[in-house]
Structure 1
Amino acid sequence: MSAASKTNPGNFFEDFTVGQVIEHATPRTVTEGDRALYGAIYPTRFALPSSAAFASAVGLAAHPVEELVAFHIAFGKTVPDISLNAVANLGYAECRFHQPVVPGDTLRTRSEVIGLKQNSNGKSGVVYVRSTATNQRGEVALEWARWVMVHKRVPAGSATEAAPETVLPDLAPVVPAADLVVPRGLDFTSYDFAAAGEPHRFGDYAVGERIDHVDGVTLTDAEHMMATRLWQNTAKVHFNTEARPDGKRLVYGGHVISLARALSFNGLANAQLIAAINAGSHVAPAFAGDTVYAWSEVLDRAELDAPGVGALRLRLVATKGRDESMTLRQTGGENDGKYATGVLLDLDYWALVPR
């Protein structure tokens, strides 16, 4: 056996089949270091993951890390098998957080291929997967579907194999509010608004309301590569300037999600916990030097059974440069309905807030 055959070049589009199940390597134990590094990389200030005392006061038995810490770690496990040869990660759906993740939890991830579609250019295709992360007790911590554009090993026209049958999964546009999982013991009836940083509660937000989060952060190669390494995400496009024709390192889409979520504190400080991600699209690539801003729109509201707890369905939009008009899509002309120039991220999620 040659030395070269022992290395892993990653899977190409041709290597995936619908129904294929992949057990991803390298279980990862969450530590307090992850919490500290997350806070160093992103300007996050949400009280519940920041303060063990606050978490205890709202009924949680242990002090959880932010949901996106768990998401990035679990997502990173999938990269060597799913998206090492990706052109770009395209979107998410049906993501539910089943329970808070705390330091000491060990996450491992498995994925099932649920759809395939070769692109018309014959050089790449879109792979749809459903991934599930479990903890050391075998309990589901979170699950999600995503789709990613992956290079073909051999472009169409230079190989004899035909394109696979197109299979597009039926993904729900929204996780129903009734299916949201509220952490055991969560009780917002004695919520400390002063400690949280804002007085706004469930009833203060109206469907259709838009909130400009005002602040911006300029992306740097050092920070986005450090963050992506932290999650053990090995996708070539984030690190290797030879992986893209333009010679740029593509910023991991999850980095933009976490940055936008942290920026949303200004106006949504009491959106303490992400319960689900309904849908998400990385609309345009981001690179070092881009300055990211964010705004949110309230899409829906739901009262939950947990004491003092409500849920807001929020659209979180990240933009390259400040968009004071908070415009999501263009109107008129040949570009009618397309995303507005500068939009980087369109994320639809449920957050738990005090009523």
Structure 2
Amino acid sequence: MKTNAGRFFEEYRLGEVIAHAVPRTVTQGERALYHALYPARHALYSSDVFAQACGLPASPLDDLIGFHVVFGKTVPDVSLNAVANLGYAQGRWLAPVWPGDTLRSQSTVIGLKQNSNGQSGVVYVRTLGTNQHNQPVLDYVRWVMVKKRDLDAPAPATVLPELAATVAAQDLVIPQGLDFTHYDFAQSGEPHRWGDYALGEVIDHVDGVTIEEAEHMLATRLWQNTAKVHFDATQRPDGRRLIYGGHVISLARALSFNGLANAQMIVALNAGAHANPCFAGDTVRAWSQVLDRAPTSAPGVGAIRLRLVATKGGAGDLRGPDGKYLPEVLLDLDYWALMPI
């Protein structure tokens, strides 16, 4: 048997380290396609001149390009037979990704829990992305629901990893040389500084984008995500292809430019949940809530903690009286970004 059917839940072992194929060299082509797929326009990722004025040698690739590439490498070994990707925690961007970098991924199984129906289970992995110098660029935890191949296979002992609710502000990694002292607000697109955002403030990003099947297929192939539920309509009882959750993340992040144009660099992923499935034809809108602010050691640079919500509903609507996510909520993402003070 030379083909790979992917792993099933009962085939994972706690502590197992999985080195993922295939390394990928990223270039300006990924940037161009990313900006074509999403309305992404943060200045630091669009202009070498702007980035150099902020102390960097050039414009790095968008943080979520690195995330998608590192994530995509893991799919054949972690979520090829997934029912759904469930959540994220303890993510940190450890170094910028530059055009010409070659990225690799490695995951460690840190938790297992069979579901009560005996047909699937949840696999927790910590994934590390590195570049060609073996320098870590990204580290995060995610958990995914995976089908069982043999329903009679014994369930592994349940082990749930202890995960911090947030990445502490003092643990954020600031790119070397970053300096917002002479930040150009006219070129960035908005005048709003770190100190202009109040804790608890809700920002309606106003714009909406209707997801098309064609763009989702292009994006998911671009990131080399081979999960069957995204491509094969026979994998779901309703015959619909599930939109890759990362596509929704990037779309919401791009929409957040309107109101958060100066939240330039994502440096940590505190928590995240794909609250409800997303399908072609859905019109996605976004809103953010300010959760925290913290100073950093970099000149002119502050850290802002944001909740980013992708929804088919209205701004500020998140959970019902029962505490569960409203059916129109697609994504609830908690992250730290860097912003000029």
Q: Same fold (TM over 0.5)?
A: yes
SS of the residue 1:27 aligns to: strand
1:340 is displaced (CA, Å) by 2.0
Matched, 1:150 2:150: no
Distance 2:196 2:58 in 1: 29
Distance 2:84 2:300 in 1: 40
2:73 aligned partner: 77
1:339 is displaced (CA, Å) by 1.1
Structure 1: stretches of 5+ with no match in the other structure: none
2:39 aligned partner: 43
1:28 aligned partner: 24
Contact 2:49 2:58 in 1 (8 A): no
Matched, 1:260 2:252: yes
Distance 1:191 1:114 in 2: 41
Output the amino acid matched with 1:313: R
CA deviation vs aligned residue, 1:278-301 (integer Å, no higher than 9, x gap): 000000000000000000000000
Contact 2:70 2:105 in 1 (8 A): yes
Output the amino acid matched with 1:202: W
User: Paired residue for 1:346, among 325, 329, 332?
Assistant: 332
Coordinate RMSD, CA, aligned: 0.7
SS of the residue 1:300 aligns to: strand
User: Paired residue for 1:110, among 102, 106, 109?
Assistant: 106
1:62 is displaced (CA, Å) by 2.8
Matched, 1:99 2:95: yes
1:205 is displaced (CA, Å) by 0.3
SS of the residue 2:305 aligns to: strand
SS of the residue 1:163 aligns to: coil
Matched, 1:330 2:320: yes
Distance 2:225 2:108 in 1: 19
Output the amino acid matched with 1:244: R
Of residues 77-86 and 240-249 in structure 1, the stretch that sits farther from structure 2 once superposed is 240-249
Distance 1:46 1:267 in 2: 12
CA deviation vs aligned residue, 1:111-164 (integer Å, no higher than 9, x gap): 000000000000000000000010000100101000000000022xxx2x3211
2:289 aligned partner: 297
SS of the residue 2:207 aligns to: coil
Contact 2:8 2:146 in 1 (8 A): yes
Matched, 1:231 2:223: yes
Distance 2:97 2:58 in 1: 9
When normalised by structure 1's length, the TM-score is 0.95
SS of the residue 1:206 aligns to: coil
User: Paired residue for 2:207, among 209, 215, 230?
Assistant: 215
1:7 aligned partner: 3
1:274 aligned partner: 266
Output the amino acid matched with 1:343: V
SS of the residue 1:352 aligns to: strand
Distance 2:306 2:55 in 1: 24
1:191 is displaced (CA, Å) by 0.1
2:192 aligned partner: 200
Structure 2: stretches of 5+ with no match in the other structure: none
CA deviation vs aligned residue, 1:98-120 (integer Å, no higher than 9, x gap): 01101000000000000000000
Distance 2:61 2:205 in 1: 23
Q: Across the two proteins, how many residue pairs are aligned to each other?
A: 341
Output the amino acid matched with 1:151: K
Question: In the TM superposition, what are the counterparts of 1:117-136 in structure 2 within 5 Å?
Answer: 117-136=113-132
Contact 2:80 2:227 in 1 (8 A): yes
CA deviation vs aligned residue, 1:168-196 (integer Å, no higher than 9, x gap): 00011100000000000000000000000
1:352 is displaced (CA, Å) by 0.1
Distance 2:65 2:16 in 1: 27
SS of the residue 1:25 aligns to: strand
Output the amino acid matched with 1:182: I
Identical-residue share of aligned pairs (%): 69
